[in-house]
Amino acid sequence: MNESFNKKDYLSDQERQQLKFSTQDRNMVFEKIRKQEPLKERQPRFKKAMSYILTPVAVGLIALLVTVQTPIKDEVISAFPALGSLSSQYGSPELKNAVQKVKPQIINQSAEDKGIKITIKEVLYDGPRMSMYYTVDFTGKKYDRIQTNFTFTANGEDMRHKHLLGEDMMGMGMPKEAPKNLNFATIEFKQKMPEKINLEVKSKSVFVSNKNDKGFPKELMGKWAFSFPVEKKGTEYRYTPNIKAKKESEFTVKEVVFAPTGIQLSTLMSNWRGKYIDGAHTSYRLFDDKGKPYEMKNFEHTDHERKDGKINEKTISIFKPKQRIPEYIMIRTKKYYYPEPNKSVKKDITENLPLYMPQNKEGGITVTKVEPKKNEVWIHYEVKGNDPQMRKYFFNMVKEDKHETKWLDDQALNSADSGRTHIAKFKTSYSKDLQLVVSPPPVTLEEFEVKVPLKKEYLEKR
């Protein structure tokens, strides 16, 4: 019986890796067994012999559950956490934290056309968003990059204008250790969704390209379709405060949603047409009751609408979650535009220090120290002028070579506070051809600060 079953014939490389139990996985399984099945008297020899025979059968059952084209029950996943661990292995910190408490649904549905196979591996639906892992493989011609073109239907309703699709976390893509064929997407719903969804995922075409190709990727028409039930996991808290603040514009906080994988903030900014400035932008920042900022998760999205002599900006902002819901949140918005001409100042890294680099008449950046590190360059600097935190976003490093100009961003910027001193950390080796660049920060048109109380009786728990 052992010779007739070989798990390598049934599992992909990714799935074989998932079957490797860590010490933590083993302890979790043993703990479940200990709680659910107390030790009894010693087994008869016949039962003990049967356990040896059933061992390969159990392995075969696990392999079958991994490869079937239907979702696997949560009871199975909770007993074998390694089977449902794509999110815990390759997810963002907030996704990894969420799946410690709630288990993603294992889907494993595949569709193949034009020599390209797409497999939906697992999803986690927590209310405002759905996190989805899927693989893309080729069975025909080989391509360096295959990009899907997904559309979604929920309970028969076309979600084309009712959701946002994000390809990755903070634009960073998949971790280096992740399989090359593994992809991640988030579906951010613009409206409150049912707790159970019959989800249809379709891609009528894919875009393919190779490294040496010139021009746009080639579109291959085909049919890749999936359908499966999805059930909300974890607890979400919703609040619709409808709080308004007026200046030249009218700012409204429409809804705040706290969910395991993130916070969704929905706002409305209404502007009279005669006072609307083309090219103006609005930024949104969120703070807890201790004054600590929430970190932006992966995007802000704004829909524009012209109605009753006004231009309405409906924005959804996504922030990373924290361990608790505060007593209140502070929302700070800033409407701004970029001045024309928007000239930047560029200086060689070998310039004498301290080095002052003006951003505009009101202030700029003073570089005080250049500190080479292993595979990094740290730049110590001070900010002069108003809104030092905003000015930090317009300080970069440029690396010139024969073929291209590489713009490098400060890797420590997200943790920067509103203070005037900071250490920028650029991921590159030190060389004399590096250059420092500052640009003028945007001009502020209007600012709002709104306090939103979060009493328990205000929150809808679901």
Q: Please tell me the predicted confidence (pLDDT) of residue 79.
A: 44
The pLDDT value recorded for residue 73 is 47
What are the structure tokens assigned to 454, written together?
């979060």
Of all residues in the chain, the percent with pLDDT exceeding 70 is 78
Are the beta carbons of 313 and 271 closer than 8 angstroms?
yes
Q: What's the pLDDT score for residue 85?
A: 66
- The answer to the question of residue 2 being in a domain is no
Instruction: Give me the domain span that covers residue 358.
Output: 345-441
CA distances from 413 to 389, 407, 427 (A): 9, 15, 13
Q: What is the CATH number of the domain that holds 321?
A: 2.60.40.1640
Both 104 and 142 in one domain: the answer is: yes
Q: What are 258-303's pLDDT values in tens digits?
A: 999 999 999 999 988 767 777 788 888 899 999 998 988 766 788 8
Assign 261 to helix, strand or coil: coil
103: which DSSP letter?
A: P
Residue 340's pLDDT band (cuts 50, 70, 90) = confident
Q: Is residue 74 part of a domain?
A: no
Cis peptide bond prior to 372, omega within 30° of 0: no
Predicted structure pTM score: 0.68
CB 152 within 8 A of CB 132: no
Q: CA-CA distance, 269 to 420, in Å (whole number)?
A: 31
Q: Which helix (H) or strand (E) holds 416?
A: none
How far, in Å, CA of 28 to CA of 22, rounded?
10
- 1, 8, 57, 250, 253 from 4: Cα distances, Å: 5, 12, 11, 71, 63
Q: Residue 389: exposed, middle, or buried by beta-carbon count in 10 A (0-12, 13-18, 19+)? A: middle
- 139-164 residue pLDDT tens: 878 888 898 989 999 999 988 878 87
pLDDT at position 298: 65
**134-167 as b/e, with b when 16 or more CB fall inside 10 Å?**
bbbeeeeeebeebbbebebbbeeeebeeebbebe
Q: How many domains does the chain have?
A: 4
pLDDT of residue 109: 97
Tens digits of residue pLDDT in 418-458:
789 999 999 999 999 999 999 998 888 888 999 999 998 99
Coil, strand, or helix at residue 94? Answer: helix
Verify that 132 and 57 share a domain, yes or no. Answer: no
Query: Which pLDDT does position 329 carry in this prediction?
Result: 96
Nearby residues of 115 by Cβ (< 8 Å), 6 or more positions away: 138, 139, 140, 141
Per-residue confidence band for 461, with pLDDT thresholds at 50, 70 and 90 = very high
Query: Is residue 208 domain-shared with residue 268, that is, in the same domain?
Result: no
224 and 125 within one domain: yes
Query: From the DSSP assignment, how many helices (H) and strands (E) are in the chain?
Result: 7, 27
Residue entry with tokens 């449902």:
84
Q: Greater confidence, 397 or 45?
A: 397
Both 197 and 248 in a single domain? Answer: no
pLDDT at residue 144, rounded to an integer? 87
Q: What is the pLDDT of residues 376-415, one digit of tens each?
A: 999 999 999 988 888 998 999 999 876 677 888 888 887 6
Task: Convert 444-459 to b/e letters by CB count within 10 Å (16 or more is b).
Answer: ebbebebebebeeeeb
Inside any domain, residue 152? yes
- Say if residue 413 is in the same domain as residue 269: no
Residues 306 and 415 in one domain: no
Specify whether 455 is located in the same domain as 306.
yes
E strand segments, 262-307: 262-272, 281-287, 296-307
Task: Say if 449 falls within a structural domain.
Answer: yes
Percentage of the chain exceeding pLDDT 90: 46
Give a yes or no: residue 27 inside a domain. Answer: yes
Q: Omega of the bond prior to 104 within 30 degrees of 0, cis?
A: no
Q: Report the range out of 161-175, 236-250, 269-283 with the highest average pLDDT.
A: 236-250
Tell me whether residue 75 is in a domain. no
Same domain? For 388 and 280 the reply is no
Average pLDDT, whole number, for the chain?
81
pLDDT confidence of 64, banded at 50, 70, 90?
Answer: very low
Q: Do residues 331 and 357 share a domain?
A: no
Supply angle C-alpha 232, 236, 240, rounded to 5: 125
Q: State the Cα torsion 397-399-400-406 to the nearest 10°.
A: -90
Tell me: do 208 and 61 sit in the same domain. Answer: no
User: Per the structure block, which two tokens stand in for 409?
Assistant: 């961003």
Does one domain contain both 135 and 119? yes
The β-bridge relationship of strands 281-287 and 237-239 is unpaired
pLDDT value at residue 309: 86
For residue 400 the two structure tokens come to 């010139």
More confident site: 240 or 5: 240
pLDDT digits (tens, 9 = 90+) for 117-129: 999 999 999 999 9
Q: Which of helix, strand or coil describes residue 294?
A: coil
Residue 416 is predicted with a pLDDT of: 67
> What are 187-213's pLDDT values in tens digits?
889 889 999 999 999 999 999 998 888
pLDDT level of residue 51 (50, 70, 90 thresholds):
very low
**CATH at residue 134:** 2.60.40.1630
The answer to whether position 350 is within a domain reads yes
Would you say residue 1 lies in a domain?
no
The pLDDT of residue 56 is 46
Residue 43 has pLDDT above 60, yes or no: no
Digit-coded pLDDT (tens) for 207-237: 999 888 888 899 999 999 999 999 999 999 9
SS3 content of the chain, % helix, strand, coil (to 5): 20, 45, 35
What average pLDDT score do residues 315-336 get?
91
Tell me what the mean pLDDT of segment 36-43 comes to: 41
Q: Which CATH number does the domain housing residue 393 bear?
A: 2.60.40
Whole-number pLDDT of residue 395: 95
The DSSP element (H or E) to which 370 belongs, if any, is strand 363-373
Strands ordered across the beta sheet of 363-373: 355-360, 363-373, 376-384, 421-426
Q: Which residue has the tokens 């502020």?
A: 444
